[in-house]
């Protein structure tokens, strides 16, 4: 089967239609969730940098840091970042771990070890392996990049706490599923697990009174 790709809102709608046929239990979830987000970013260094910046901080803080960083590193690409002084990270408000991660990624891109645009065309397993080989890039970061920059339609970031809580609430589970258990649940939603993730993020927003848990 050819790899499904999400490029626009119509692809999300088509994926949702297919997903609801796969698992009719999700119909009331979709009704509660409303419109599903697209939120595609560019499949390049700037797109990945935005995801790294957004980790473990509030949406408002991430936006402020990202705005400062893009103003200081212009254009926001690997070569430009490597040519910058270390002060730019402090001025932007980036932590040391995020600084090291971005430098590791930039070095891998400039050396040719990592081709971020090619990840959009690779099978998920191969793309994940290429990304997590870079120090500082874990499974969650790689999955979010492939989902929201690469357009992969069959990625489910099971390590995301909001997704786990949304699945628990929607499926009326006794407890929030851990990573492995959530991946086992999500397996039946292939090849549209990326649409399922969007569905549950939107559902989380609905049940939390408009609180947006989308990580990008």
Compute the average pLDDT of residues 107-114. 97
Q: pLDDT of 36-77, one tens digit each?
A: 999 999 999 999 999 999 988 888 899 999 999 999 999 999
Distances (CA, A) of 36 to 15, 29, 90, 172, 215: 11, 11, 36, 21, 14
Which CATH number does the domain housing residue 138 bear?
1.10.340.30
Answer whether residue 1 shows pLDDT above 70.
Answer: no
What pLDDT, in 10s, does the model give residues 117-174? 999 899 999 999 999 999 999 999 999 999 999 999 999 999 999 999 999 999 999 9
Domain-located, residue 3: no
Is the pLDDT at 183 greater than 60, yes or no?
yes
Q: In angstroms, how far is CA 188 from the centroid of its own chain?
A: 20
Task: Write the CA distances from 116 to 37, 45, 48, integer angstroms.
Answer: 23, 7, 9
181 with 97, same domain: the answer is no
Domain extent at residue 180: 9-39+154-207
Contact 215, 40 (CB under 8 A): no
Q: State the pLDDT at residue 145.
A: 97
Query: How would residue 213 be classed by pLDDT, with cut points 50, 70 and 90?
Result: confident
């Amino acid at each position: 089967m050819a790899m499904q790709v999400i490029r626009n809102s119509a692809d999300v709608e088509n994926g949702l239609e297919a997903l609801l046929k796969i698992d009719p239990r999700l119909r009331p979830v979709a009704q509660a969730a409303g419109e599903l987000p697209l939120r595609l970013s560019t499949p390049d260094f700037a797109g990945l940098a935005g995801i790294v910046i957004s980790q473990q901080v509030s949406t408002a803080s991430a936006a402020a840091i990202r705005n400062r960083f893009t103003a200081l590193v212009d254009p926001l690409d690997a070569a430009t970042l490597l040519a910058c002084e270390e002060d730019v990270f402090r001025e932007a408000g980036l932590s040391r771990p995020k600084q090291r991660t971005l430098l590791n990624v930039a070095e891998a891109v400039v050396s040719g070890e990592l081709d971020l645009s090619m990840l959009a065309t690779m099978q998920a397993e191969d793309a994940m392996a290429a990304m997590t080989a870079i120090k500082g890039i874990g499974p969650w970061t790689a999955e979010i990049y492939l989902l929201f920059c690469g357009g992969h339609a069959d990625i489910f970031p099971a390590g995301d706490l909001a997704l786990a809580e949304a699945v628990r609430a929607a499926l009326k589970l006794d407890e929030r599923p851990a990573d492995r258990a959530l991946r086992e649940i999500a397996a039946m939603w292939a090849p549209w697990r990326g649409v399922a993730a969007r569905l549950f993020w939107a559902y989380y927003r609905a049940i939390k009174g408009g609180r947006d848990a989308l990580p990008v």
